[in-house]
């Protein structure tokens, strides 16, 4: 293992590079599932109450009816790659910085070994660090998620022709404020990431290292998959309705009807589908989120240790 002192990259640079790489790889692999998840979330308003199987069947049929199935299944891949790569790079970089700040504020002795610092932190300190990182990332990346939602919510002959076309049309037709549609539920939804990282780092640093460890070791595959799966299931289920609200606020149809406001949107979903409406697409999201997060953190841990 290359020691931190001999590495050509600083701890912050390692986090950013690893986050960018992990975000890119994950997005390419899981994009079709992300497409289904997003359209299921939008179905909270469009569809009458029906079985989950019927909803998924409709969406798959809708996509497979296109002339070029593969192209349609990967519709919006460009903005999804850019958004996820930038978001993960920002998040991991800010999280490293936030942990250092939080630890330095709670301790008079600043250790050189970042792993030793991290291991001395408690769950609430991880939660604060992840929450602060998430808030900044959410504000900076929200415009990309608006464009992503618009591109992926419609077939190619009904929506935008490209990322640049989407940005230009949204700016011209709706104004710059549209790029921050859905920011409020997104900010509240930051609690998912904060909760995830709090559980993840607590399990990784408190339970997978004994007190004699002097440096961070690379987790094996079983350990990585296990702590990721537990952390992701708990965090996703706890705040999923906020993600669904954000997606619906950012799509086309909310711009010019009564559902463009969050309170109206909540009433509409409740009226159509009850409490179950706020969890539409949850199963699809878990099917996508758990494997994609395993890929993300598997790549992230690999690159961080390799660098």
Return the higher-pLDDT residue of 135 and 19: 135
* Record: fold of 9-306: Mitochondrial carrier fold (1.50.40)
Question: What tens digit of pLDDT does each residue of 133-192 get?
Answer: 989 999 999 999 999 988 887 655 457 778 898 899 999 988 898 898 888 888 887 888
Counts of helices then strands in the chain (DSSP H, E): 11, 0
Residue 216 has pLDDT above 70, yes or no: no
Question: Domains of the chain: which residue ranges?
Answer: 9-306
Helices 11-46/123-152 angle, 10° precision: 50
DSSP 122: -
Instruction: Output the CA torsion sign for 99, 102, 104, 107.
Output: negative
pLDDT at 49: 54
Name the average pLDDT for the chain. Answer: 78
Rounded CA separation 102/241 (Å): 30
Which residues does 45 contact at the CB level (< 8 Å), separation at least 6? 248, 253, 259, 265, 268, 269, 272
Question: What tens digit of pLDDT does each residue of 237-290 get?
Answer: 888 888 888 888 888 654 445 556 788 888 888 888 888 888 888 887 888 788
* DSSP annotation string for 192-237: HHHHHHHHHHHIIIIISS-TT--SPPPPPHHHHHHHHHHHHHHHHH
């Amino acid at each position: 293992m290359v020691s931190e002192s001999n590495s050509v990259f600083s701890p912050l640079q390692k986090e950013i590079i690893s986050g960018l790489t992990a975000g890119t790889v994950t997005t390419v692999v899981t994009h079709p599932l992300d497409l289904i998840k997003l359209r299921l979330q939008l179905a909270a308003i469009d569809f009458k109450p029906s079985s989950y199987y019927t909803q998924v069947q409709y969406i798959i049929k809708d996509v497979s009816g296109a002339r070029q199935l593969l192209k349609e299944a990967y519709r919006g891949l460009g903005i999804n790659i850019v958004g996820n790569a930038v978001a993960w790079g920002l998040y991991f970089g800010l999280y490293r910085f936030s942990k250092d700040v939080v630890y330095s504020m709670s301790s008079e002795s600043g250790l050189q070994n970042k792993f030793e610092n991290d291991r001395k932190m408690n769950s609430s300190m991880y939660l604060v660090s992840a929450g602060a990182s998430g808030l900044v990332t959410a504000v900076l990346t929200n415009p990309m998620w608006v464009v992503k939602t618009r591109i992926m919510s419609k077939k190619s002959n009904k929506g935008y022709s490209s990322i640049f076309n989407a940005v230009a049309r949204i700016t011209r037709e709706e104004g710059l404020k549209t790029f921050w549609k859905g920011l409020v539920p997104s900010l509240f939804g930051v609690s998912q990431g904060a909760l995830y990282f709090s559980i993840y780092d607590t399990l990784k640093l408190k339970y997978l290292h004994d007190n004699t460890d002097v440096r961070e070791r690379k987790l094996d595959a079983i350990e990585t998959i296990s702590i990721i799966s537990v952390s992701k299931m708990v965090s996703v289920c706890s705040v999923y309705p906020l993600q669904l609200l954000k997606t619906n606020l950012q799509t086309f149809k909310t711009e010019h009807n009564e559902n463009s406001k969050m309170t109206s949107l909540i009433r509409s979903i409740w009226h159509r589908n009850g409490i179950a409406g706020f969890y539409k697409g949850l199963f699809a999201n878990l099917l996508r989120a758990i494997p994609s997060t395993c890929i993300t953190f598997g790549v992230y841990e690999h690159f961080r240790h390799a660098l």
